[in-house]
Structure formats: C-alpha cells, structure tokens
Amino acid sequence: MTEHLVPTAPQQPLQTAGTGAGSHLRRGTLGLADIVFFVVAAAAPLTVMAGVAPLAILFGGIGAPVAYLAIGVVLCLFAAGFTAMTPYIRNAGAFYAYITRGLGRPAGLGAALLAVFSYNALQIGVFGALGFFAAGTANDLLGIDLPWWAYAFTGVAVVWFLGFRSISLGAKVLAALLIAETAILALLAGAILIKGGANGLSLASFAPSHVFTSQMSAPLGLAVAAFTGFEATAIYREEARDPDRTVPRATYLAVGFLGLFYTFVVWVIVQAFGNDGAVGAAAKNPAEMFFTAMTHYVGAWATDLQRILIITSLLASLLAFHNAITRYGYALATEHALPASLARVHSRHGSPWIAGMAQSILAAGTVTVFAVIGAQPYNQFMLWVNTPGVIGILALQLLAACSVVAYFRRNPALRGEGRLRTLAAPGAAAVLLAAATALVCTRLNLFTGAGPAVNWTLAALTPAVFLTGVVLAARMRRSRPDVYARLATADID
C-alpha cells in the first residue's frame, strides 16, 4: 500500500560521512538571479534555438512558435503547484522529496533513482554535442583538426573544476555565458525586426489556421525538451538566500523567460525567411538556418561569433546539470539512500566534491565508450543518450504534479494558497504532462533519427529505472527500516 508523509517537526539530519568534510553545503550563497542563471543555462537556449527550432518549423510549419508558448503555459501550471508545495519541503531533494511526500516512499525512491539517471543522461549526452561543435568550429575557424572526443574530455575536466570550486564561482561563469548567448540571439532578432524580415513582419504564425493542425504535434514534442531542467530550482534550496521566496520566484522567472524568449525567437526566424520561405529554408538545411539568417542580416563576423557561443552555451548547460546532479547525490546521501561519501562537502569550497568527482568519472567513462566504438558524436552519442533523459524528466514532472494534488488533498489545512494552486493547476498540469509524455514517446524518431527498436528501448529505460527504485525501497524497508523511515524528512533550514 502507498505510504503518505505528513508535515512533521524538524528532525536532525543523518550524519554525513567523511573526515575533514563539512556536513552542509554553503548556505545563503545564491540569490534569485544566480538560481535563474543555473536553470536557464541548463536549457542551453542558443543551442536549442539554432539546433532544434528549425526542425520545429520544418515539421510544424510557421505555427511552430505557438508550440513553445503552449508548453510554457503548461509548465506554468506545473510551477503553480510545485511552488505551492515548496514551503513544506525543506529538503534539497527536489523531485525525490516532493514525490515522496505526496505519493509515498516507494514512489519517492523510484523518482530519486530516475532523477539521478535522467539528469546524468541529459548532461553526459551533451558532451557529444560539445565535441561535435567544438571540433567543427576549431577546424573551420582555426584550422585545428582534432577528434571530437578530445574536446569532450576537455569539457569534462573544465566542468569538474568549476563544479569543484564554490557555487558562487559557477554562478558567475554561468551568468557571463548565458548573457552572451542570449545577446547574440537578441542581436539577430533586432536586425531582422529593423529590416522588416524577408517580406515585412507578420503575425500569421499565431493564426488558428497555422496553429490548430495535425502537424503541430511534432513541434510540441520538440518544445517540451527545450524547457528541460527549469524545475531544478528546488535543488539549490540549501544554498539559496531566503529559499521560501527565492525558489518559487526563480521557478516562475525561469519558465516564463524561456517560454516567451523561445516563442519570440522562433517567430523572428520565421520572419527572416518569410511566411512562404521559412519551411523551405528549414528543409534545405535546418542546421544552417540560423547561421544563414545571421550572415544575411548581421554579417559573417556575427556568424563566426555565434558558432563559438554555441560551444560556450553547451559548456554552460553541462556545468548547470553537473551542479544539479551532485546536489541530488548529496541530498540522497545525507539520508543514506546513496553511499554516505557522496555527502562530503569540501571544507573550503563548500561543494559536494565526492559527488562531483563520481559524476565526472561517469561522464569520462561514457565518452570513452562512445569514442572507442566509433559512434557519431551528435546523431548517436548525444541524441541517444539525451532522449531517455528527456522522457525521464517529463515522467518526474508528471509524478510531481500528481504528488502536489495528493499532498494537499490529505492536508486541507495547508491550502493557504487556495484550490487553484493546490489542486486545479497541478491537476491540469498532470493531465497535460501525461499527454506531452505520450506525444514525445510516439515521436521519438524526431529526437533520435533511429528506428523503432532503438526508440522503444530508449523509452523503456524510464519505467525500468523507476521500478528498480521501487524494488530497492521495498528491500530497504525490510533491511534498513530506520533509514527508510527518514527518507525525505531531513530538514535543511
């Protein structure tokens, strides 16, 4: 039978292991802007726009901008319930903690395993994209010819170093990189608007005749992946200043910015080629669509800069996901759901350095395997490894939305925010997220370019990992009942 957790008095956290290690992450380090930078950088806006948005236009037509807006609205509904529950989840475990409190410990531990798996899949796969774009750019601009894996291994080392240092250093690096990639897209958008696009500016992308069509299922599926990671705001609770206010605000700001920015940029790129020419330009060479627009409207120098900034965009995404993964490991290890050594905090930098080292070793090992077997860095390494991560995060969002409804139904006295935020919004989000998850699973060929056998194998990993966590929870309940009883109950404030 599913177990339920109710609000309890603060408990002392389990002791963490490690000689010379701190027991807590560095508290009060991150402000609102810092957390927003972390989660928006994880989405890699420049890479998502230049690398994926042309496919949304190709498959969905000029109505593709609305797909990003629609998914943004769905995730705002999710954020409403997610943030309503935040004051009652004083734990850095994010999805794990929310789902445990709402749906019980077995589902919570299943979610914990799925979260660690999914974030690792998302982060590690991006090393393939980093190697692919860095190798091509270095060759074209500098004449340096090195294999993709050389850049991927360099990326692993850089991300490990920045993750090992204090979270404030990582926040400063991410802020600079995110501002740079946003600025280059803003420069392109401004140039297109000033010149009036190809045939004058038009709002036809938002006309019902271009939005309500059967072909819009494809851009909706692609748009879902573009928001991946925004919910990670809760992971930084322990390091946030005034977390009860900062975490909810950061969540709304992150999803709101991404939804509006993506919609605007995709609409602008349609204007660059015109309503009659955008789909044809995407079909001709989707990978070059943004570069072609940049050269035409701004200049070749900006195109070269854009190619460099795609690399830094990927680096920012890698660092953001690395920090999220290590903090998940830290939260689980403090409760002995993972080896206690992962909870060790560096005495000087305040970082979960053992968890960071373990994650970097896993990333390096995966890069090695794909390099040895001669896999293509983008079409195989990146897409095949990332895809189960996208499905896993969607499944976690769905479970989290359901957990919000369940939590507040059992605790009506806590509905201080009203039924809209505690029941209606998360309930609607759960239904829509279930539809989005099904949509992605049935259109996996858009993400992987592979056949049904590969696609369904990748999709099956999500339920397999989740059920493994449920089985482990059952074993823990028998063998370590004291640890099992304290899952997701340790306070950090």
Encode burial over 132-144: b for 16+ CB neighbours within 10 A, e otherwise: bbbbbbbeeeeee
Q: What is the spatial distance between Cα 78 and Cα 426, in angstroms, rounded to a whole number?
A: 5
The mean per-residue pLDDT over the stretch 199-225 comes to: 88
Q: Round to whole Å and give the CA distance between 441 and 100.
A: 25
* pLDDT tens digits for range 297-317: 999 999 999 999 999 999 988
For position 10, what pLDDT does the model report? 37
Instruction: Give the residue, 417 or 211, on which the prediction is more confident.
Output: 211
Query: Cβ(128)–Cβ(377) under 8 Å?
Result: yes
| Phi then psi dihedrals of residue 419, to 5 deg | -65, -25
Overall average pLDDT of the 3-8 stretch: 48
Higher pLDDT, 381 or 12: 381
Distance CA 330, CA 338 (A): 8
Q: What are phi and psi of 22, to 5 degrees?
A: -75, 165
> pLDDT-derived band of residue 15, with 50, 70 and 90 as boundaries?
very low
Amino acid sitting at position 92: A
CA distance 99 to 433: 16
- Tokens read off for 44: 């890699």
Tell me: pLDDT of 111 over 60: yes
Q: In the structure, what pLDDT confidence band is assigned to residue 262 with cuts at 50, 70 and 90?
A: very high
348-382 confidence digits (pLDDT tens)? 767 788 888 999 999 999 999 999 999 999 888 98
SS3 329: helix
Distance, C-alpha 144 to centroid of its chain: 32
The full DSSP string for 197-220 is TTTS---GGGSHHHHSSGGGHHHH
Greater model confidence, 488 or 466: 466
Contact 240, 36 (CB under 8 A): no
Asked which of 66-80, 190-204, 382-396, 474-488 is least confident by mean pLDDT, the reply is: 474-488
DSSP helix/strand/coil, 24: coil
| pLDDT at residue number 32 | 87
Q: What angle do CA 206, 209, 212 make, to 5 degrees?
A: 85
Provide DSSP, 212-281. SSGGGHHHHHHHHHHTTTGGGGGGGGGGBSSHHHHHHHHHHHHHHHHHHHHHHHHHHHHHHH-TTTHHHH
For the chain, the average pLDDT equals 86
Distance CA 401, CA 408 (A): 11
Alpha-carbon gap, residue 233 to 95, rounded angstroms: 11
Q: What does the alpha-carbon distance between residue 407 and residue 415 come to, in Å, rounded to a whole number? A: 10
Measured CA to CA, the distance from residue 441 to residue 217 in angstroms comes to 12
Average pLDDT on 395-413 reads: 91
Sign of CA dihedral 140, 141, 142, 146: negative
Cα angle 199-200-206, degrees, rounded to a multiple of 5:
105
Strand partners, 30: 240
Residue 150 buriedness (CB in 10 A; 0-12 / 13-18 / 19+)? middle
Tens-digit pLDDT profile for residues 33-68: 888 888 888 888 998 899 889 989 998 999 999 999
SS3 state at 14: coil
Quote the CA–CA distance of 154 and 364 in Å, as a whole number: 10
Query: What phi and psi, each to the nearest 5 degrees, are found at residue 30?
Result: -105, 130
Give the tokens for residue 250.
Answer: 């950061």
| pTM of the predicted structure, to 2 decimals | 0.86
Are the C-beta atoms of 401 and 433 separated by less than 8 Å? yes
Token digits for 415?
């509905």
- Calculate mean pLDDT across residues 259-278: 95
Long-range CB pairs of 174-178, under 8 A, 24+ apart, other chains included: 174/37, 174/38, 174/41, 174/316, 174/319, 174/320, 175/33, 175/34, 175/37, 177/41, 177/312, 177/313, 177/315, 177/316, 178/37, 178/40, 178/41, 178/45, 178/316
C-beta neighbour count of 374 within 10 angstroms: 7
Rounded distance between C-alpha atoms, residue 371 and residue 364, angstroms: 10
Q: Given this model, what pLDDT does residue 2 score?
A: 45
